Structure 1
Amino acid sequence: MKNSRFATKSLAAATAILLAGSLSGCEAAAEALEVIDSASDPAAGGQASSRDATNALMQLEAIPVKGRAPKTGYSRDEFGPAWADTDRNGCDTRNDILARDLTDEIFKSGTNNCVVTSGTLADKYTGTTISFVRGQDTSTAVQIDHIVPLSDAWQKGAQQLSGEQRKELANDPLNLMATDGPTNGAKGDKDAATWLPPNKVFRCEYVSKQVTVKAKYKLWMTQAEHYAIAGVLKSCQ
């Protein structure tokens, strides 16, 4: 049942570890400048509270800052089969996330409330409402996004994770969200230095989630990414 799969929809704030850090670096600042400027809009405060932003900023300082590693060796297969049933509830991860994020869901009969055939998504990336209908020509209207893209994760520490850890990352509800298909396609494997959600009111929550995921899986950030995320979070306080 959906309620048993996602009894708690909100995630507790991770314990913050405050370390000394620096956001200096002209090259990083220049690379992230456009993203920072767009994040300074007052509307960017969004759904994350001031306390959440402060906690995320402190957690951000504990994340290592390094250069991006080569993409050599990356493939989706390095993160296990797509939408594996890692929680062993009988439903694949894609259907789990659809069931969590959609409202007015209708499930395919005989699937024990597993396969979602239709529903409504209040899309956080665009701020629009999208009707989801499962089908060959319609399913892609709603896609499941990795908040920290797998390719980005690969280049920032996931190469050193075990196969099981990468599989967990790829199927972790913390790192997954149902969203508008074309917008997800536009995001691709970009990090926060080069892409933020068009819906400015979601940006604080979005980068906070990225910080939490990268901290959980001990991934690093580039200086430009760190600078961009800090800029967004400071606008939320």
Structure 2
Amino acid sequence: MRRPGGLFGAVAVLALATGCTPEVTAESAAPTSEATVSATVVPAVEPGSALAALAALPVQGRAPQTGYDRDQFGAGWVDTDRNGCDTRNDVLARDLVDEQFKPGTRDCVVVTGTLADPYSGTTITFTRGQGTSELVQIDHVVALSNSWQTGAQGWDADTRARFANDPLNLLAVDGPLNQQKGAGDTATWLPPNRGFRCEYVARQVAVKSTYGLWTTQAEHDAMATVLSTCPDQPLPTGAQPEPEPEPEPESAPEAPATEGFASCADARAAGAAPVRIGDPGYREGLDGDGDGVACE
């Protein structure tokens, strides 16, 4: 991790975090107490703000992407909080308004709703189904590939699955903009909706702080630039806790799943992904959002 050294190095780190550059005069360059420097050239950083948390994030180079695969973070959307719904439906239910649920799913599977898209600032109508579901997608605010290159390689499988399904790191957003973002970090992509950028970057900082991820220098600088325009932006909370042990089933186990690929990794290895309903190898267990297309 690279950090400037000495007293003026410490000032530089705080100045970067706040976006302010202190004026260095003959008087301020002369030896003085740390308390004096803090009072005269270091702007106050609000405790609990995203800017304060950013200053504490480690900065180092990006690790190689070697070994990265989406399946390293679990097989799609799962029910990590064990509330009976997969994560995609949980996030849709949280972020949409006027949502309607599929009958018989105990208000789990969202079939319609309206999204006030934070990335574009527009309103999008969501309708579940082939050709329409993808208009609203669930974005990993800190992309899985980015996390892999900034610390997640060292995690165990359970931690990676929890990260991929943590509501703190997930937003329902405009599908095409999610595709445009890809695995971009703050240095390479920001939401077109400028009014959401502070909240967006604050959420990235919160996720990286929660999971012990680092930033690259370019990413750190870009985050500081955005947050310097909103130094009091609060740090979001709400990381998903460790799940409780799964209780013993109260009824007989379900019948074995119909024949199909054992996992999305097998489907991709066979060159069959995505697998649509009716295709050989399709099974509902691989179709996390229930839209008829598995291993998307």
Return the index of the structure with the highest Cα Rg: 2
Alignment correspondent of 2:210: 216
Are the aligned partners of 1:53 and 1:204 in contact in 2 as well (CA < 8 Å)? no
Higher RCO by CA contacts (8 Å cutoff, separation 6 or greater): 1
Give yes or no for the alignment of 1:107 onto 2:98. Answer: no
1:1-237 superposed matches below 5 A: 20=10, 22=12, 55-237=49-231
Alpha-carbon distance in structure 2 between the residues aligned to 1:194 and 1:23: 22
State the secondary structure of the residue aligned to 2:184: coil
Residue identity opposite 1:205 in structure 2:
E
Equivalent-residue separation in structure 2 for 1:55 and 1:236 (angstroms): 10
**Over 4 Å off, 4+ runs:** 20-24, 51-54
The structural deviation recorded for 1:53 is: 9.6
CA distance in 2 between partners of 1:204 and 1:103 (Å): 23
Tell me the CA shift for residue 158 of structure 1.
0.4
Q: 2:264 maps to which residue? A: none
Higher relative helix content: 1
Q: CA deviation at 1:96?
A: 0.3
Hey, what does 2:240 align to over in structure 1? Answer: none
Under a length normalisation based on structure 2, what TM-score does the superposition of the two structures give? 0.63
How much has 1:55 moved relative to structure 2? 1.1
Residue 162 of structure 1 and its aligned partner are, at CA, apart by: 1.3
Identity of aligned residues (%): 62
Secondary structure of 1:177's counterpart equals strand
State how far apart, in whole Å, the 1-side matches of 2:50 and 2:12 are.
Answer: 16
SS at match of 2:201: helix
For 2:49, what is the secondary structure of its paired residue? Answer: helix
How many residues were matched structurally? 193
TM-score by length of 1: 0.78
Q: CA deviation at 1:61?
A: 1.2
Specify every segment of 5 or more residues in structure 1 that has no aligned partner in the other structure, as ranges. 1-19, 25-50
Secondary structure of the corresponding residue to residue 221 of structure 1: coil
Q: 1:53·1:236 contact (CA, 8 Å) conserved in 2?
A: no
The amino acid that maps onto 2:216 is T
